Every structure is written in C-alpha cells, then in structure tokens.
Amino acid sequence: MAITGIKGFNDILPNEVEKWQHIENTARRVFGLYGFSEIRIPILEKTELFARSIGDATDIVEKEMYSFTDKGDNRVTMRPEGTAGVIRSFIEHKLHAQDQVAKLYYMGPMFRYERPQKGRYRQFHQIGAELTGVTDPMADAQVLTMLCHFFAELGLTEPSLQINSLGCPECRPAYRQKLKDFLRSRLDSLCDDCRRRYETNPLRALDCKSTGCKEATADAPSVLDSLCAGCAEHFVKTQQYLKETGTAYEINPRMVRGLDYYTRTTFELVTGLLGAQSAVAAGGRYDSLIEELGGPALPGIGFAMGVERVVLLLAEQEFRKRPDIFIAALGEPARKEAYRLMCELQRLDVSVEMDYEGKSLKSQMRRADKFRSRFTLIIGEDELGRGNAVLKNMDEGVQEEIPIGAQEIAGRVKYPAR
C-alpha cells in the first residue's frame, strides 16, 4: 500500500504554486514599499515561548499545539503563529539597539492541531508583519493601510476590514468584570470550554464559534464603552488616520481575537466567501508583549494572513495577474508606435499587454477589461499627430493626455498620482 500524506498537511502542486508565488511576490513588493524587511525564524521554538506570549487559557495553547519532548529532553513546539518567534528574535539579537522602530515581515508554515476543513488545516501558511517601537496610532494606521494595499494589489476587494479596541491593562480589568457579571446568569448556555475559562479568560466567549456562546453573548456589553481616556483617544486617532487615506473599515466591538497578548487596536479582514473560515488576516497591537518576553518596554503591532485562505479567495474571485498597462492603438502608425512602446516598457519592468491582431477600438477595450489592466494607454491618430497618447488610470477612473515616452509612462504607472 502506498504511503499517503498526513491529514491536514497539504501538498501544493505546480498549477497551484503560481498563485502562492504571486501572493508572496506581491507581499514582498508591497511590504517593501512601507520599509519592511524579511526575517526568517525557526519552525521549532521552546514551548514556554508560546505559553507565555499567546496565553495559557487560549485554544492554541490548550489544545492546538504540536508540542513534544526532543531527544535531549527539551519541551519544544512547532510554531502555531509567527509573532512570538519574531519578538523572541528581536529581543535576542537586540534589534532595538539599532532602531527601536523595527519593521519586519515573515512567511512560512505554521502548525495547529485543528479539525481539517476548507480553509482550516494542520499545517497552514502565514504571511505576517510586525512594527515595533511606536505608540502613536499612525503605526496602527500604517500597518492596516499596508494590509489593505496588499489585498487591493491582488485585486481582492471583498474582504472587509473590521477594527476594535481591547483597551489596556488599565481599563481591561473593569471590562472583564462587566463581562463576567453579564455572563454569570448565562453560564449554562456556554460551551464547556468557555464555561471552564469563565474565571481565567471570560473574553474568549466572545470569540467562540459555538452557537450557544454566540447566542449567549449577542447582547454582551461592548468593550468600547469601558475604554480609558488614553485608549479611547488612541482608537479615535487610528480611525482619523485611516479616513485620511481612504482606508475603509467597520467597527466590530465583539472582536477579541484568540491570543491574549493584544492591547488596544485589534483587527480582522473578513470575507463572506469562506463559510466559518471568515478571517483572512488578523492582528493587533501588543504593547506589553516585548517586555513580557524579557525585552525592553516597547510597544508593537502586527498581523498575519492565512495564505491558504487568500488562495481560496483568489479562486472564488477568479485569479488573473493584472498587467500594469494595456495599450490600445488606432490605425497602422499607432500600432507600430504601440508595439515599440510595449517592448520598451517591458524592459523598464512594466507589465504590458496589447491586442496583437489590431481589432476595433471597442474590441481592444474589451480585452483591456478582461485583463483588468491597472492603466490603459490609448494611442489614437489625432493624439499621435501631437506625439501624445491618453493614459487612463482604470482604478481611479481619471485620464490625461501625455507625451509618448517610455520613461515618462513607466514613472506614472509605477507611482500613480493620487
């Protein structure tokens, strides 16, 4: 009998792998624009690292970790998430001594012993980012905007951003108490786990996927009503920064996240297309974690996305690489000009498509639509006479007549004016 793979551990086959590469390349490119550098950390860490950071009374630590004792009698765990390891490394190598504002991203496999189903596996992959050393809500907005920028670059507009604030060690205890008072009379409706964790971690009930817990907590008090002045201001300012650059969001006061280290801002990118596996990316601020892991008292914020879920979304929304520009040309001289320009642009690192058959403008534009190019350049006879063409930004719906020149066009396509 042939040996099969392990349940919940997937192969990624050649056809599929292109999507993965596209996602990874897009992350590297977009995160690079925001000054993030890659960090590569080990898969195996001391079990203690996760217990201390993620929290003892969480699903991950209580029942999802792949932990074992190695041949040297050390308790080790295959990482269930990336933040703990990144922060461990940040502290161990004193990255804060160079600059306390570190901007790091990582990608790779994570391991959780969960019930495998669509969008939920035992080995899955995350791409995540962490920004340390900034208390100002500009950091929160920057990280969120980068995440949304990444999804926009993939052509995925469906997952929507939800944000919340979990308060800080000053104001969270009061909320915890309020929630406990509220849950006390409803304990019978909670699932076994949430009832057991009522004393140690009552917030978990808000994050629980069981129907009983969902119903019992439907009208639970909102954490947002318990924020101290500092946390309330932080939340307002984060939103102001988001609005400043048109990053769309909704407030979800029930979102508590499955890890204990979060403070203040938490967020999720949520989709309606993957059933119960609705979170495509998630994260938050962790202002005490670095110190708790033995480092300096520096704040941090970060997120992780589930790559398998992004791949599934690309399938739902029909994945196609978006060329930077589609060139449409009217008439033979314009076609020649278009061809020359296309080759020149491709050498300048701009991806270009055109209609090789020279059909009507209407059919060329249909092709541009099909490719969903970011820009269209239309070279008509009149414009060509002036040495010009019309460049249209398809996302913004604005167009202008510009001189035909590969450098000029490459610049506009790579750095579109807002």
Residue 392: CB minimum distance to ligand ATP, A:
35
Find out whether 113 and 80 touch, Cβ atoms under 8 Å.
no
Q: Please, which residue, 255 or 394, has the CB nearer to ligand ATP?
A: 255
Write the CB contacts of 395 (distance below 8 Å, at least 6 apart in sequence): 374
Q: Please, which residue, 90 or 121, has the CB nearer to ligand ATP?
A: 121
Q: What torsion, rounded to 10 degrees, do the Cα atoms 311, 317, 323, 325 define?
A: -150
Residue 393: CB minimum distance to ligand ATP, A:
31
Residue 122: CB minimum distance to ligand ATP, A:
7
Amino acid at 182: F
**Nearest residue relative to ligand ATP (C-beta):** 306
Structure tokens at 242: 């988001």
Measured CA to CA, the distance from residue 203 to residue 37 in angstroms comes to 34
Residue 7: CB minimum distance to ligand ATP, A:
13
Beta bridge partners of 301: 131, 285
Q: Please, which residue, 64 or 344, has the CB nearer to ligand ATP?
A: 64
Applying CB under 6 A, the residues found at the interface with ligand ATP are 81, 112, 114, 119-121, 124, 126, 258, 277, 279-282, 304-306, 308-309
| Residue (of 312, 34, 21, 238) closest to 150 by Cα position | 34
Residue 53: CB minimum distance to ligand ATP, A:
12
Angle between helices 137-153 and 229-244 in degrees, nearest 10: 40
Write the CB contacts of 329 (distance below 8 Å, at least 6 apart in sequence): 335, 337, 338, 354, 358, 364, 378, 379
Residue 306: CB minimum distance to ligand ATP, A:
2
Write the CB contacts of 58 (distance below 8 Å, at least 6 apart in sequence): 201, 204, 258, 259, 260
Q: Please, which residue, 216 or 304, has the CB nearer to ligand ATP?
A: 304
Q: Please, which residue, 125 or 186, has the CB nearer to ligand ATP?
A: 125
Q: Please, which residue, 107 or 334, has the CB nearer to ligand ATP?
A: 107
Residue 282: CB minimum distance to ligand ATP, A:
4
